[in-house]
Amino acid sequence: MGKFQFSLEKILDYRWIQEQEAKRAYASAQQALNEQEDLFQQISQEKNALMDVREHTVNRMQIQQWYLLDLNQKLLTTAQTIAEMTSFVESKLQTYIEAQKERKILEKLSEKQLAEHQLAMNREEQKMLDEMANRKRIS
């Protein structure tokens, strides 16, 4: 018997590549979500800071009110984007987990085949040793 060669090695390599691509896609989606959450925090802080500013003229109060309305709209839009991105990130995570499972299944199969190969090699070696011992006894 020769050196062990896993029969599904190319498929295992393909699954490994799929897992790495899924991992990158998940990381990218998570980063985009984090950026949106940071944007939401920045807009919230800007709104809170603007609420502390008291304007004394009607004109400035009106401009401040319009700006607050614009900030509220941005907060609403960003919150909707965050909700959509959260479900997208979750789907990417599930894809990554599935890719990991597929790879691990093949790795377990490879380990099992390797153990069987080693067992067969050990049996063959023992058979040869027994045969050599029998020949020595006969001579």
All structural domains of the chain: 9-106 (1.10.287)
- What one-letter code names the amino acid at 14? Y
Taking only the tens place, the pLDDT of each residue in 13-23 is 999 999 999 99
Q: Which residues contact 29 (CB under 8 A, 6 or more apart)?
A: 85, 88, 89, 92
Give the C-alpha separation, 103 to 8, whole Å: 11
Taking only the tens place, the pLDDT of each residue in 64-85 is 889 999 999 999 999 999 999 9
pTM of the model: 0.76
